[in-house]
Amino acid sequence: MQAPAHPPAPAQVLARLPAEVWAVVVASLAALAWIPTLLELARPSSDQVWERFGLTAACQPQQFHLGWIGAVILQQSGGAFTASLPTVALQWLSCKIALLTGLDPLQAFLIPGLLVTFILADLSCRVAGFRRLTSLATAFLITTAPCSFSRVGHLSLAMLWMVIPGLLACHGLWRAMAHRRRPLSLLGAGTLAALLCLPSQEYYVVFVLLLLASSFALLLLLATVRITTISALAAIAARGALFAIGFLALVVLLYSGKLAAVGLGSGQPPAFWSAPRYASEQFQYGLLPFTWIIPPPWVAMLREGLQNAGISTGSESFFWSTGSFLIPAAWIVAIRTIAGNPSEAPAPRADGLGRRDLRFFALLLTLCTFLGLFWMTMGGFGTVVALLNPTLRSLNRFTAFEYGASVLMLMALLDRVLSRRRLEPWPREEAPT
């Protein structure tokens, strides 16, 4: 029976806009949030002095006369912050933008950097099975993460382009281990996940590799609970290993420049990676996970209060990163999800995320939280590998991943809610039931 024709409601009109229009609108909103920061970067200050080392040096035309994969740039990248080939290309692009537009190199780096963060987060969400709306929302949230704004002084830390793709690589690993697939398709899935990560800031590569390895271990452990035969367990492990090999192969390829530079050079870790360790280093780089849950409106107030109380807050980890209310909210959702009734019938996967995906994201958030607590309180990367190499720095950057995992948890829930309510714009074709 034909329903009587009503004039369409404004929400319906909005929903009928093509997905591309929505993508542009959401990306513009994210860009709008960055305008004050961009304006602030026009005023070069000592805060950004670190980043200027890498950027202004790279922006000198003579550094590029051999081309961007020439010997000079390899040597330079060997000691600089960024190293993979895509990043060098991105840096080159921002230098060109700076030269053409007269922008400061920092501003010029921020523009393509944020765009890449947005696009990669959106793309990897789509590949992972999120619907368009939640993919865009995830991309928006990661591009405007509070911890990103608070680390603009360390520009390479403000660019979170690896966080969502890195976390979703763990999701890809889980999917690879869950179903029987051809070996080549598993390798391909691993490679695709690595490509979406666009391995770039080694600062984040370490954490992604750690997360992948831990997810692998955890998934195998969970599989032992319900698998009774060793051969089935071995098949699961083999599928995971194939995915991981595909992932690692591309990371090594993208880092070949840096690895070659290190190998041809002294063989020592690059300058940025190694520094004489000092006694207070683990306190400088370690801990303070409680900053995760302190959202932006109160960070400055709390820092001032602590300073007035005579408590030293000068250490880098102490409020240089901003938390968000999304993190505790996601914890509650994760607990609810894990504690929920597992026997509930799973929804078809063709329409957005399934219930099992939701449970995986809850698991991922839990893993991320515990790894973060462990890593941060023990004093960062250098402490973990101090026995192997005492000169490696204590990198510590878990807030971004904790925030990313929380965003994924919340957006996965939203995805499920939209599935149930059929509220999404651009609905898919009805799946045959």
Partner 1 sequence: MTARRKESVDPLLAGFGLLALWIAIELLYSSGWLRIDAILRTAERQRLNQARLTRVAPKLITMLEAMPAASRRVWFAPYTTFPETGVIESRSRLGIYDTFLTFPRSGISSNYGAINLSAADSLFAQASSQGLIAEAHLAQSLGYRLFALDLGGISQPRAAAQLCRRSEGCRISGDAYALFPLDAGRTGWIAQLKNQERNIPLLPQISAAPRWGGLVGQPNQWWPSTSADLPPGDGRLRLRARPLWNLELYRYPLAGLPAATRRLLNPQGLKVRALLGPGLSEVDLCLSTATARAAGKPCQVVTLQTQNPAIDISRWIEPGTLTAIEVTLLLGRDGQPTTMERLMPPSDRPNEPSPFTLEIQPPPPSPQR
Task: Answer yes or no whether residue 324 interacts with partner 1 by CB under 8 A.
Answer: yes
What one-character DSSP code corresponds to residue 167? Answer: H
> Does residue 413 touch partner 1 according to CB under 8 A?
yes
Count of CB atoms situated within 10 Å of the CB of 133: 21
Query: Does position 71 bind partner 1 by CB under 8 A?
Result: no
Residue whose CB is less far from partner 1, 81 or 247: 81
3-state SS, residue 17: coil
| Residue 423 binds partner 1 (CB under 8 A) | yes
Looking at 1, 5, 43, 221, which residue binds partner 1 (CB under 8 A)?
43
Q: Return the beta strands (E) in 192-327 as ranges.
A: none
Using the rule CB under 8 A, is 417 a contact of partner 1? yes
Contact call for residue 320 and partner 1 (CB under 8 A):
yes
Q: Which of residues 139-158 bind partner 1 (CB under 8 A)?
A: 141, 144, 146, 149-150, 153-154
Residues 397, 372 contacting (CB under 8 angstroms): no
In this chain, which stretch among 27-35, 94-102, 241-249, 384-392 interacts with partner 1, using CB under 8 A?
Answer: 27-35
Exposure b/e, 21-58, CB count within 10 A at least 16 = b: ebbeebbeebbeebeebbeebeeeeeebeebbebbeeb
The stretch among 85-93, 125-133, 211-219, 323-331 that binds partner 1 (CB under 8 A) is 323-331
Instruction: List Cβ neighbours of 211 (8 Å cut-off, separation of 6 or more).
Output: 166, 167, 170, 367, 368, 371, 401
Query: Does position 89 bind partner 1 by CB under 8 A?
Result: no
Report d(CA 131, CA 304) in Å as an integer. Answer: 42
49 scored as a contact of partner 1 (CB under 8 A): yes
Q: Measured from the CB of residue 7, what is the shortest distance to partner 1 in angstroms?
A: 16
Q: Which two tokens stand for residue 354?
A: 């399934």
Candidates 2, 28, 45, 231: give the one binding partner 1 (CB under 8 A).
45
- Taking the C-alpha atoms of residue 42 and residue 108, their distance in angstroms, rounded to an integer, is 10
Residue 190 interacting with partner 1 (CB under 8 A): no
Query: At how many degrees (to 10) do helices 85-101 and 105-128 cross?
Result: 130
Based on CB atoms, which residue is closest to partner 1, 132 or 154? 154
Contact between 122 and 165 (Cβ < 8 Å): no
Q: How far is CA 4 from CA 7, 13, 289, 337, in A?
A: 10, 18, 57, 41
Shortest CB 147 distance to partner 1, Å: 9
Residue type for position 370? F
Find out whether 172 and 191 touch, Cβ atoms under 8 Å: no
CB of 272 to partner 1, least distance (A): 12
Q: Give the shortest CB-170-to-partner 1 separation in angstroms.
A: 24
Q: What angle do CA 340, 345, 348 make, to 5 degrees?
A: 115
The CA dihedral of 324, 205, 138, 290, to the nearest 10 degrees, is -10
Candidate list 34, 174, 272, 398; residue touching partner 1; CB under 8 A: 34
Cβ 420 to partner 1 shortest distance, Å = 9
Between 215 and 317, CB nearer to partner 1: 317
Asked whether position 329 contacts partner 1 by CB under 8 A, the answer is yes
**Which span sits near partner 1 by CB under 8 A: 15-23, 48-56, 66-74, 372-380?**
48-56
What tokens does 380 get?
Answer: 């960062």
Choose the binding region for partner 1 from 52-60, 158-166, 285-293, 380-388 (rule: CB under 8 A): 52-60
Q: Residue 318, by phi and psi: left (phi above 0), alpha (psi -120 to 50) or beta?
A: beta
Taking residue 67's Cβ as centre, other Cβ atoms within 10 Å add up to 10
Site for partner 1 in 297-316 (CB under 8 A): 297, 307, 310-316
Total residues contacting partner 1 by CB under 8 A comes to 54
Taking contact as CB under 8 A, which single stretch among the options 15-23, 160-168, 383-391, 413-421 is the one that binds partner 1? 413-421
Q: Is 356 within 8 Å of 347 (Cβ atoms)?
A: no
Rg over CA atoms, the chain: 23
Kindly identify the residues of this chain, within the stretch 255-284, that bind partner 1 according to CB under 8 A. Answer: 275-276, 278
Contact residue for partner 1 among 17, 21, 25, 42 (CB under 8 A)? 42
Q: Which residues contact 409 (CB under 8 A, 6 or more apart)?
A: 330, 333, 334, 337, 361, 362, 364, 365
Is 75 among the residues that bind partner 1 (CB under 8 A)?
Answer: no
| Interface residue list for partner 1 (CB under 8 A) | 33-37, 39-40, 42-50, 52-53, 56-57, 60, 141, 144, 146, 149-150, 153-154, 275-276, 278, 295-297, 307, 310-316, 320, 322, 324-326, 329, 410, 413-414, 417, 421, 423
